[in-house]
Structure 1
Amino acid sequence: MIIIFLFAGAILFACSMIFIHPGIQKIIWVTVGLLLSVGSVILMTLNYNTYFGMKVVSQTQTAPLTSSVKGKHVLLYQQIGTKNERIYYYAANPLQQKLAKTNPGTGTVKVVRNAKLNQVKIVRKTRVYRNEEMRLLFSNGVPNHQFVSQDYEFHLLPGWKLQQVTQKKQ
């Protein structure tokens, strides 16, 4: 919709500059066309750079955490890079065969030791339009429900250990 306003402003500006005779009416129509064009460009730039008209929505999911290795109380991780960049392998269901893993490029991971319960808390953040008018105005640029980040928080009971994996776990 904002593109339509941009084209309408440009056509209004051009037509009023060419076809309307000099006078107060020409000044008004040229100003309206110019303001519509420049305002549309500014709003489009704000939308692309600062997500104007959008808000961040968080969805929290909590699941019980079971050991990554059967028979032990262990949370596995794989070191990537030189700092605290790690991939954690976890299971939220004891019958789960394939371990789920975190993605350090999309969010943060926090490990809380000596917690009361074993659980994993996953917070997924997405951008959504503030209201229907903003969605109609900017829907051609930034999609609704755009992924922002996914943060993990592992709560471990006393006695649980972190263990590094030497080979890539599937």
Structure 2
Amino acid sequence: MIILILIAFAVLFFMFNVLPITKGNHLWSLLFLAGFILSGAAIIANDVNHFGMQVQSQTKTYHLASDSDKMGVLLYKALGNGQEKIYVYKTSAKQAKPKPTKTSDFSAKITRTKEDSYLKVTTKRYVYTNKWSKLLFGVFGNNREVKHRYYHFYVNKDWYVLSTDQAARLSKLLKTKQTEMKTKIASLVKAKVTQEIMANPSLAADPSKQQALTEAATKAATKQVLDQYVAQVK
């Protein structure tokens, strides 16, 4: 609509400025010129400053699934000098390929948590303030244009945040260290279980408590050994 208004003011200005068809044509020509200028200014203001629009915010929360079936991990790709990162993530273990964060008008933040990992995506968009603004500027197709996306990753404290290159190196390292890794974990678990039983001999007579102790020790030992290998690829 604003384009039609602009054209109409231009035609009327031409008619009343060039073709002396009515008395007082100079006054009318000035009014139509002002209308033409204001219409053009409104178009520029809409394009540059989103005149006639307001910001609408929407937040969605997603479960985060690890990119590895062996450990909790969130991956990213470093861009340029490494300061900017594009995170790739899964919201389901059944998801075939990880989804990347957007590459423009976005920012990402990581917060460590003791809870399950999840992601909050807040999207801010420009929308028309009312039906009249939509009628005027709808021709430009900028309704719901993204202003910014905020990715807030809440990552469990036991997860690793690695670049895709680091993850590839870690995968190769773990393949060559499988036997060593099992031996280290078994040794740490045995030492931990023995220590706990010596401190509390009653555990030796309770198989269920021994099993729980072994499971907890195995989890802690696996994390400890993985930390050592992860440190080698960073």
Aligned to 1:98: 97
Task: Tell me how far 1:156 sits from its aligned partner.
Answer: 1.2
CA RMSD of aligned residues (A): 2.2
- TM-score (norm: length of structure 2): 0.64
The residue aligned with 1:12 is: 12
- The one-letter amino acid of 1:135's match is K
Query: Who is 1:144 aligned against?
Result: 143
Tell me the percent identity: 30
Of 103-112 and 34-43, more deviation after overlay is shown by 103-112
Larger RCO (CA under 8 A, 6+ residues apart) = 1
After TM superposition, where is structure 1 displaced by more than 6 Å over at least 4 residues in a row? Answer: none
- Aligned equivalent of 2:81: 82
- What SS is found at the alignment partner of 1:108? strand
Q: Secondary structure at the match of 2:132?
A: helix
Alpha-carbon contact 1:115-1:155 (below 8 Å) kept: no
Query: CA–CA distance in 1 between the matches of 2:125 and 2:114?
Result: 28
Distance 1:149 1:40 in 2: 28
Q: CA offsets, 1:64-118, max 9 Å, x none? A: 1121111201112222221321222211112222211223433011110135341
CA distance in 2, matches of 1:106, 1:168: 27
Structure with higher helix content? 2
Instruction: Give the distance between the partners of 1:41 and 1:168, measured in 2 at CA.
Output: 53
What do residues 26-62 of structure 1 show as CA deviations (whole Å, max 9, x unaligned)?
A: 3432232122111111111111111111122222110
1:76 maps to a residue whose letter is: L
CA distance, structure 1, for counterparts of residue 123 and residue 115 of structure 2: 23
TM-score (norm 1): 0.86
Structure with the larger strand share: 1
The CA distance in 2 between the partners of 1:168 and 1:37, in whole Å, is 59
Distance in 2 (CA, whole Å) between partners of 1:110 and 1:104 is 15
Q: Deviations over 1:103-137 (max 9, x none)?
A: 34330111101353411111222221111101111
Partner of 1:157: 156
| Whole-angstrom CA distance in 2 between matches of 1:91 and 1:108 | 18
Of 64-73 and 113-122, deviating more is 113-122
Distance (whole Å) between structure 1 residues aligned to residue 125 and residue 31 of structure 2 = 36
More displaced stretch, 75-84 vs 32-41: 75-84
Which structure: larger Rg?
Answer: 2
Q: Structure 1 pair 7/168, CA: closer, same or farther in 2 (3 Å)?
A: farther
Mapped to 1, the partners of 2:160 and 2:51 lie a distance apart of: 44
Which sections of structure 1, spanning at least 5 residues, go unmatched?
A: none
